[in-house]
Amino acid sequence: MTVLFVAHGIDEAVYLGERVLVLSSSPTVVQDDTTVDLPVERDRLTTRRDERFTGLRARVHAQIQQAKKGAPGASAKVRP
């Protein structure tokens, strides 16, 4: 089963997801595809203190800042 969440918060996206896709500005492409390597069973307080969580959050934030500037991400891929 696949579930797609559209999140507007970085913490929410990293906490809920197994992958986080950051979209570019127009024309829209997938700018970054980050795999969330956190345990499946998550607890908000413990997870938010995990160094992996803070690193993932920083990566996603940096990709969003690049998208705002119109700069392509390291793994930008054109989608049909």
**How many domains are contained in the chain?**
1
Q: Note the pTM of the prediction, 2 decimals.
A: 0.80
Q: Please report which confidence band the pLDDT of residue 79 belongs to, taking 50, 70 and 90 as the band edges.
A: very low
The domain of 45 spans 10-69
Q: Please report which confidence band the pLDDT of residue 64 belongs to, taking 50, 70 and 90 as the band edges.
A: very high
Looking at the domain assignment, is residue 2 inside a domain? no
Q: Which of 4, 31, 1, 30 is nearest to 17 (CA)?
A: 4
Looking at the domain assignment, is residue 78 inside a domain? no
Please classify residue 33 by burial: count the beta carbons closer than 10 Å to its beta carbon, then call 0-12 exposed, 13-18 middle and 19+ buried: middle
Looking at the domain assignment, is residue 80 inside a domain? no
